[in-house]
Amino acid sequence: MSVLKKDRSTYLKSSDIASVYEQLIAEIRKINRIREDPSLVHEHNRVDVVLDDVFQLLSLSFLTVGLTRTAPATYASLSTVKRLLEHLKESKAYSLSDLKPINDRLGEIQNIIDRDADSESEDVIKLIRAKWTLCEAQLMELQASLSVVSPDLEPLLQKLVTIRRQIVSVGSRPKLNVTELKALSDELRQIESTRVDGNFLSPDGSIPDGQNVLNGLLEECHTVLNDFSARSDLVAPSLRKLYDQLLEMKNQLESMMLTHRWTLRETDLYNFQQKLQAIDDMRVGGSFVDKSGNAPEGQAVLLYLLRRCYALIYRLLVSSEPVSEALMPIQNQLSTVRRCLMEVKRMGGLSSARELYPYQMKLASIDNMRVDGKFMIGDAIPEGQGLLNALLAECFDLCHELRVEMDDAEE
């Protein structure tokens, strides 16, 4: 799998993944048979760690070749979701709006697993479903913790969660912006001033449930804000190397968010996942420690960067298109032509037929790439044919509509 991932001289093909996948299924089947022993059902050892690494890379490979709606492709998302939920629980700063996208994604994955249950290997489905069940249990725990908060206080809870993230975001930058911190401090004081005898009130003047949650979060915001305001250094020297690594990864992932349609090979995310998991596992009792076992200054910054990286990876995984990387250049061209045609239509249409020629020529050249209605790469038929053909047809339809509108306007 690593050799295939590193080979940039050719596109990753479904046939390459399939042969490795069959080998992996055989190994998973052996593990499941061994674990049928009641005394070994809950055992977790080095074999499980390696299996998780291998399946993550395989899952990313499925995404790379465009098989995004298959059960194996969901494993990478589940691994990232699990880490995100763990960090949300640890931070105690989240709202229902943070949990809803995750809940929706787990629902999508459940549908994919149920749909593939008959066609996929029973042993693979068992492995993926176990991962999904773990994520679902974590999500339900977080949802339950918010059930004590009255609906009247949910907007305020969301506001405090947002402010806390903004505080840590400002504090994590190499150069501290005191002005931005002061503005956030003013927001906190304004929220605090709305309390009556230490309670946040409903519009009807009653005291709704969830006061402890909001007051605790408000206090946490003040604590983090004061830490950043009072300190000139972001992190202690002993944690500086970790800070630099996480900041670099965050910047790289944010750059990939902007260019992923053109440059991302989903298997590239594997290295980021491995580095982040290694850094995450270095924590002791939830904190990064130095050689003496102490937790130096800078914990909030490092945890923010770590969680931000996980969130970026999750967004990249979710945004993966059901198109093989071999066809991504064609899809990007069609998407660009479509956007241009939509913009021409939005701006009032064509002023002359000549304006349509470049788009028609480009679409004709792409159409001529097809063999019997399929986009071929060598002798292979990569995933994503339906989406590309639909996109090509939509572009032709837009050209026709623009021409008709122009003719009608002339008449």
Mind spelling out the 3-state secondary structure of 299-362?
Answer: HHHHHHHHHHHHHHHHHHHHCCCCCCCCCHHHHHHHHHHHHHHHHHHHCCCCCCHHHHHHHHHH
Among candidate residues 207, 230, 253, the one where a domain is terminated: 230
265: pLDDT strictly greater than 90: no
Q: pLDDT class for 136, splitting at 50, 70, 90?
A: very high
Per DSSP, the three-state class of 131 is: helix
User: Is there a single domain that holds both residue 55 and residue 128?
Assistant: yes
Supply the pLDDT for residue 261: 61
Say if residue 22 is in the same domain as residue 142.
yes
Within-domain flag for 306: no
Q: For a pLDDT cut of 90, what percent of the chain falls above it? A: 31
What DSSP element (H or E) covers 381? none
Residue 65 has pLDDT above 80, yes or no: yes
- Label residue 230 by pLDDT band (50, 70, 90): low
Task: Count Cβ atoms below 10 Å from residue 81 Cβ, excluding itself.
Answer: 26
Specify if 53 maps to a domain. Answer: yes
> Are residues 201 and 131 part of one domain?
no
| Same domain (yes/no): 3, 92 | yes
Largest CA distance in the chain: 84
Q: The pTM is what?
A: 0.78
Domain that holds residue 381: 328-410
Same domain, 141 and 32: yes
Q: Considering its fold, how many domains does the chain have in total?
A: 3
Residues 190 and 121 in one domain: no
For 363-387, what is each residue's pLDDT tens digit? 999 999 998 888 988 778 888 888 8
Please tell me whether residues 175 and 156 are part of one structural domain: yes
Considering the domain architecture, whether residues 139 and 158 belong to the same structural domain is answered as: no
- Of the candidates 213, 230, 247, which is a domain's last residue? 230
Q: 57 falls in which pLDDT band (50, 70, 90)? A: very high
Asked whether residue 115 falls in the same domain as residue 173, the answer is no
Residue 284 belongs to a domain: no
- Do residues 128 and 183 both lie within one domain? no
Quick check: 24 and 54 in contact, CB under 8 A?
yes
Domain end point (choices 119, 147, 175): 147
Closest by CA to 65, choosing from 314, 320, 269, is: 320
Return the percentage of the chain with pLDDT > 70, whole number: 98
Q: Grade residue 260 by pLDDT with cuts at 50, 70 and 90.
A: low
pLDDT (mean) for 178-200: 86
111 and 35, same structural domain?
Answer: yes
Say if residue 84 is in the same domain as residue 200. Answer: no
Instruction: Return the structure tokens found at 122.
Output: 């029973």
318: in domain = no
